[in-house]
Amino acid sequence: MTAYVIRRLLQGFFVVFVVSVVTFFIIQAGPGDPIEQMLGEGAQQMTEEDLDRIRDKWGLDDPWYEQYFSWVGNLAQGDMGISIVRVGQPVNDMIISAAPSTIKLNLFALLLSTTIAVPAGMFAALRRYSIFDSSIMVAASGGVAIPNFWAGLMLIVLLTGTLGWLPATGFDSWKHYIMPVTVLAITEMAVLARLMRGTMLEVLNQDYINTARSKGLAERTVVLRHAVRNALLPIITVIGYRSAFLLSGSVVIETIFSVPGLGRLFFQSITRADYQVVQGIVLAFTLLVVLTNIITDLLYAVIDPRIRLK
Amino acid sequence: MSRTEKFLEMLPFSAATTRREFLKRSVIMGAMIPAAGTLLTACGGDDDDGGDTGDGEATSPPAQTTRQSVPTSSSGGGGQATAAASPEATEAEADEEDAEASPTTAAAATEPASSDGEPVQGGTVIMMGHHEIASLSPDDDGPTVHWVMTTNIHNGMVELDSYYVLQPVLCESWEVNDDGTQFTFVLREGVMFHDGEAFTAEDVKYTFEYYGDPANASIAASNFLSIEYPIETPDDTTVVINLKNPNASFMAYTASQFIVPQHHHSEVGETGYKANPIGTGPFKVKDYDPASFCELEAFDDHFRGRPNLDILRENIVPEASVRKIALESGEADTSVWALLTEDNIALRDSGEFATYITSSVAVNHFPMNNERPFFQDKVVRQAMMHAIDRDQIVDELWQGLAVKATANLSPALEFYYEPDVKQYEYDPELAMSMLDEAGWVVGSDGVREKDGVKLSWTCLVITGDQARRPEAEVVQQWMLAIGLDMKIEEAPSTSTAMQKGEADMALYNWTYGGGSGEPDASNTLRSDALNNFSHYKSPEMDRLLDAGLAETDPDARKEVYSQVQKLVAEDVPFLYIKFWDWFVFFNKRVKGLPEEPQNTQYYNEAYKWWVDDQA
């Protein structure tokens, strides 16, 4: 087990390294000029020498390989450098201060979607073709189909614009979490409910369920101890896998709901050519996804005794 | 991100993207001249190198080139400040019930509007910006989102007001010597920084020397290039600045620099100052989180007296449609960054908000590389102008929220604007006959060519620029109609590609003179200019631009820049289309706002605002 964990961590490290290299070079090759963005229209009044001095000050006139090694060198010491567009703010600080909002939003969304979707999918499978099953599945299809930016704006129009119940701007009280968490959870709920129903149905047809029933176990025990436990396996894999999607969902949701999180920081950094921050966030996201996947695999081992034996 | 916001965000140098450029593109002259006339009258007309006093209001020189003494700031506004340049804007404002004052009453702007009642102390005004407030340093006040905070924390010796008038703020008066190379400022006494230290001439000296020092690579460095150091400070309230040569833009670009306190800035450094500014302004920083908000509180010892508001706050709300909803729900009082065009129209028509519409001086244009074989022939460029229906672009694509361009300068720049230039009516027939005559004949593929050169090129549009892309597409159709093949490609940074000569043509907005009322366009039209996107080389233009900078007499300058505009219209270095309108809405609970302002400079008058929740 320990060897397995170490191997997975090493693999994860390799992935993060490759992503860091690829990110750096894609960004270097890409168009756009951070100085232009930093100056705003100020560049109009500038001379060539002014621009050169500013590029020099921010290390942008160094050859690409020097920039890369200096970046990697700093990275090895845990320093992601500074943002040029944001006139010298350390990228570490920006990511550290943005991460909690994103993590909280996503955890709440995960919690909400799982607690609703898993039982809903389970009951839908148990009451297959019932009204309950059909309505859950119709709602789930809708949940998958609705784009989250649209759902977000509609919620704001309704709950802020029309009813005036919830604030649409700012992010400093529990009220600010309701709408973004709901929207983030909608798609996840839909995906998880459909999946849970599908795997439950599959599991319920297995021989060991028939065996359990024929042993005379109470249906409740059959369902909870034998069926659900096995049906949860793919769900956990998918939750781990989907966490990457949740993060990408944060890009849209955080922008719409003015949440000062990683998603918004990422989006604004791309549109403003803030390469240092883009690199930093890609790395941070990669790290998060890699870690989530490792944790998922370990959880798998905990839940499924067969995997543990291997 | 929303459509309008996205394109505004992505255009690196759009009309109102940044404050620094706003200063440059704003039009002092139009309204400043009458104001200068008023001031001169108040001072007994003590100018001897200035205008023709017989027609004082129209011809008095701009402040930056005039020897004059400005007694108080209360004379600002000018008696004849004129209505917004665009007819649409004027009409729109006329619809607004708050905008009942006639244009000639703009002088009342420094007084509360009578319908507003008496100012009351207390309350909070919440503004909304669209991206992080990355810095509160004066050197980073380019982005509007930064500037609305910075300008309330700091003051300059002079500051531009919403009528394009330079007002003395930290100075009481200034004088210029006869050849325009020495400026003497008499500073206001009893001004304090937020930390209780006194403001003196040394702070001015320090600020100018710090930001002007090339070693510090400050963004504003180029504004200080013309200064002959050292700056003299004979006493605590006098600053004497010598220039290497006369510079017409000195007052607007340089003297308006926000002053930082020497004792604090020299200690924390520019980097430390960005998050911890101490100014003389009406508000001081209370709480600041760059990614979410900046909250300012009233500075009790401000030299103009404590501001009416307790709190002035800017929240970051990236999504334009959410800003609109927050305005409607009353969650915020104003958005400092644009909303969607359709939301602008809806909010304007609702009558629920104090609505300001001001005109940009950055021209919406297609720069084209004049060195490319297909754009070298002037006749081709002129024919292209005839092939474009600019009225249709303004009326249909822009729903009337723009004004047609006739050359590089905006009509908003009233004093220098020259309407009597070569005109290009929409006339595709004429365009085709011009091309035929010049020997550009239609080839087998339907595209015109001459001596092996095909009139076929690529136009860059900023990636995701959903507002201007349709404009490029309609122009593409018009070009096709006269046998010209224009392809469209998207690129994230079009101005840099044009600057480096890597692209044939592009579509974005840029200021070709007009900033701070300064008509000078040396940075864009001179043969060797960094931002000569069209690679336009004209010895005659170079001569005119040099003459314009050396000239101090406004009437003579006006004549020079009239020639510049005529030459632009004749040579068509780029396809000039229109100037955009800029919308700002305020919740009606906010009182003390200016009447019929001509630019968005009024955020620096937040000390006059108060809130009336009964409104």
Distance from CA of A235 to the nearest CA of B (A): 32
Position B47 confidence tier, pLDDT thresholds 50, 70, 90: very low
Q: Quote the distance between the C-alpha of residue A93 and its chain's center.
A: 20
Residues 6+ apart with CB under 8 A from B63: B28, B32, B36, B39, B70, B166, B251
C-alpha to C-alpha distances, B448 to B377, B386, B424, B432, nearest whole angstrom:
13, 16, 21, 10
Task: Work out the mean pLDDT of chain B and round it to a whole number.
Answer: 80
Average pLDDT over residues A63-83: 82
Residues 31-70 of A with CB under 8 A from B: 31-33, 36-51, 53-54, 56-57
Residues 253-272 of A with CB under 8 A from B: 255-258, 260, 264-265, 267-268, 271-272
User: Is residue B342 predicted with pLDDT exceeding 50?
Assistant: yes
CA-based nearest residue to B242, from B173, B186, B200, B185: B185
Say which amino acid occupies A175: K
- With CB atoms and an 8 Å threshold, state whether B493 touches A87: no
Q: What tokens were used for B471?
A: 């404009």
| Residue A143 · residue A187 · CB < 8 Å | yes
Q: Does residue A151 lie within any of the structural domains?
A: yes
Ranges A4-8, B109-113, B483-487: which has the least confidence: B109-113
Kindly report the number of other CB atoms within 10 A of residue B145's CB atom: 26
**CA distance linking residue B511 with residue B503, whole number of Å:** 20
Ranges A47-56, A63-72, B385-394: which has the least confidence: A47-56
Q: Quote the pLDDT of residue B158.
A: 94
How many alpha carbons lie under 13 Å from residue B69 in its C-beta half-sphere? 6
Q: Quote the pLDDT of residue A55.
A: 75
The enclosing domain of A230 has a CATH number of 1.10.3720.10
CA-based nearest residue to B501, from B371, B366, B365: B371
B124 chain-A contacts, CB cut-off 8 A:
none
How many interchain CB pairs under 8 A, A with B? Answer: 173
CA-based nearest residue to B403, from B362, B367, B359: B359
Does B359 or B316 have the greater pLDDT score?
A: B316
Say which amino acid occupies B218: S
Position B579 confidence tier, pLDDT thresholds 50, 70, 90: very high
Ranges A156-160, B77-81, B497-501, B531-535: which has the least confidence: B77-81
Q: Does residue A75 lie within any of the structural domains?
A: no
**CA distance linking residue A28 with residue A276, whole number of Å:** 11
Average pLDDT over residues B165-185: 91
Does A15 or B42 have the greater pLDDT score?
A: A15
Average pLDDT over residues A175-199: 90
Q: Does residue A146 lie within any of the structural domains?
A: yes
Average pLDDT over residues B371-376: 95
The shortest CB-CB distance from A46 to any of B222, B319, B326 is to B222
The shortest CB-CB distance from B132 to any of A164, A168, A268 is to A268
Q: Does residue A86 lie within any of the structural domains?
A: no
What percentage of chain A exceeds 90 in pLDDT?
A: 11
Ranges A135-149, B429-443, B467-481, B568-582: which has the least confidence: A135-149
Distance from CA of A158 to the nearest CA of B (A): 10
Q: Quote the pLDDT of residue A247.
A: 66
Q: What tokens were used for B508?
A: 């974005």
C-alpha to C-alpha distances, B165 to B27, B28, B452, B455, nearest whole angstrom:
9, 6, 54, 46
C-alpha to C-alpha distances, B9 to B3, B5, B35, B320, B511, nearest whole angstrom:
10, 6, 35, 11, 17
User: Is residue B353 predicted with pLDDT exceeding 90?
Assistant: yes
| Residue B136 · residue B150 · CB < 8 Å | yes
**Helix, strand, coil % in chain B, rounded to nearest 5:** 35, 20, 40
Judge whether A74 is closer than 8 Å to chain B, CB to CB: no
Q: Does residue A222 lie within any of the structural domains?
A: yes
Does B83 or A183 have the greater pLDDT score?
A: A183
Q: Does residue A183 lie within any of the structural domains?
A: yes
Which secondary-structure segment (H or E) carries B213?
none
| Residue B390 · residue B397 · CB < 8 Å | no
Ranges A142-156, B65-79, B107-121, B177-191: which has the least confidence: B65-79
CA-based nearest residue in chain B for residue A153: B322
**ipTM for the complex?**
0.75
Burial annotation A83-94 (CB, 10 A radius, 16+ → b, else e): bbbbbbbbbbeb
**CA distance linking residue B468 with residue B473, whole number of Å:** 9
User: Is residue B86 predicted with pLDDT exceeding 50?
Assistant: no
**CA distance linking residue B567 with residue B560, whole number of Å:** 11
Q: What tokens were used for A33?
A: 């000029």
Ranges A268-272, B176-180, B255-259, B561-565: which has the least confidence: A268-272
**Whether the bond into B367 is cis, omega within 30 of 0:** no
Q: Quote the distance between the C-alpha of residue A50 and its chain's center.
A: 41
User: Is residue B324 predicted with pLDDT exceeding 50?
Assistant: yes
- With CB atoms and an 8 Å threshold, state whether B317 touches A41: no
Q: Quote the pLDDT of residue A291.
A: 85
- With CB atoms and an 8 Å threshold, state whether A94 touches B321: no
- With CB atoms and an 8 Å threshold, state whether B134 touches A89: yes
Judge whether A82 is closer than 8 Å to chain B, CB to CB: no
The shortest CB-CB distance from A88 to any of B13, B271, B315 is to B271
Q: What tokens were used for B411?
A: 């009509």
A257 chain-B contacts, CB cut-off 8 A:
322
**Helix, strand, coil % in chain A, rounded to nearest 5:** 80, 0, 20
Angle (CA) A63-A64-A65 rounded to 5° is 95
**CA distance linking residue B457 with residue B607, whole number of Å:** 52
Residues 6+ apart with CB under 8 A from B362: B13, B14, B15, B21, B25, B509, B510, B511, B514, B579, B580
Q: Can you give the residue range of the structural domain that contains A213?
A: 98-309
3-state secondary structure B457-489: EEEEEECCCCCCHHHHHHHHHHHHHCCCEEEEE
**CA distance linking residue B264 with residue B274, whole number of Å:** 12
The shortest CB-CB distance from B322 to any of A51, A258, A271 is to A258
Q: Quote the pLDDT of residue A251.
A: 87
Give the DSSP per-residue string, B93-118.
HHHSTT--S-GGGGGGGGSPPGGG-S
Reduced to 3 states (helix: H, G, I; strand: E, B; else coil), residue B144 is helix
**DSSP for residue B80:** T
Reduced to 3 states (helix: H, G, I; strand: E, B; else coil), residue A135 is helix
Q: Quote the pLDDT of residue B75.
A: 27
Distance from CA of B315 to the nearest CA of A (A): 7
Average pLDDT over residues B112-133: 83
Q: What tokens were used for B206?
A: 């320090």
CA-based nearest residue in chain B for residue A267: B1
Q: Does residue A59 lie within any of the structural domains?
A: no
| Residue B174 · residue B183 · CB < 8 Å | yes
Length in residues, chain A: 310
Average pLDDT over residues B11-17: 35
CA-based nearest residue to B129, from B257, B348, B289, B245: B289
**DSSP for residue B259:** P
Please list the residues that pair with B159 across neighbouring strands. B167
Residues 6+ apart with CB under 8 A from B6: A271, B464, B465, B466
**CA distance linking residue B338 with residue B357, whole number of Å:** 11
B512 chain-A contacts, CB cut-off 8 A:
none
Ordered alpha helix ranges (H), B242-316? 262-273
Position B299 confidence tier, pLDDT thresholds 50, 70, 90: very high
User: Is residue A287 predicted with pLDDT exceeding 70?
Assistant: yes
Q: Does residue A303 lie within any of the structural domains?
A: yes
A26 chain-B contacts, CB cut-off 8 A:
none
At B50, give phi and psi (nearest 5°). Answer: -90, -150
Q: Quote the pLDDT of residue A154.
A: 92
C-alpha to C-alpha distances, B345 to B89, B167, B352, nearest whole angstrom:
12, 33, 12
Ranges A10-24, A39-53, A263-277: which has the least confidence: A39-53
Tell me the pairing of strands B590-591 and B610-611.
antiparallel
List, for residues A216-261, the tens digit of each pLDDT value.
888 888 888 888 888 888 888 787 777 766 667 788 899 899 899 9
Position A23 confidence tier, pLDDT thresholds 50, 70, 90: confident
Judge whether A275 is closer than 8 Å to chain B, CB to CB: no
Kindly report the number of other CB atoms within 10 A of residue A222's CB atom: 19
Q: Quote the pLDDT of residue B318.
A: 87
Residues 6+ apart with CB under 8 A from A299: A236, A240
Q: Quote the pLDDT of residue A215.
A: 86
User: Is residue B78 predicted with pLDDT exceeding 80?
Assistant: no
What percentage of chain B exceeds 70 in pLDDT?
A: 81
- With CB atoms and an 8 Å threshold, state whether B319 touches A255: yes
* Structural domain count, chain A: 1
Which secondary-structure segment (H or E) carries B337?
none
At B285, give phi and psi (nearest 5°). Answer: -70, 130
| Residue A109 · residue A298 · CB < 8 Å | no
User: Is residue A40 predicted with pLDDT exceeding 70?
Assistant: no
Residue linked to tokens 């004066």: B138
CA-based nearest residue to A272, from A40, A22, A1, A21: A40
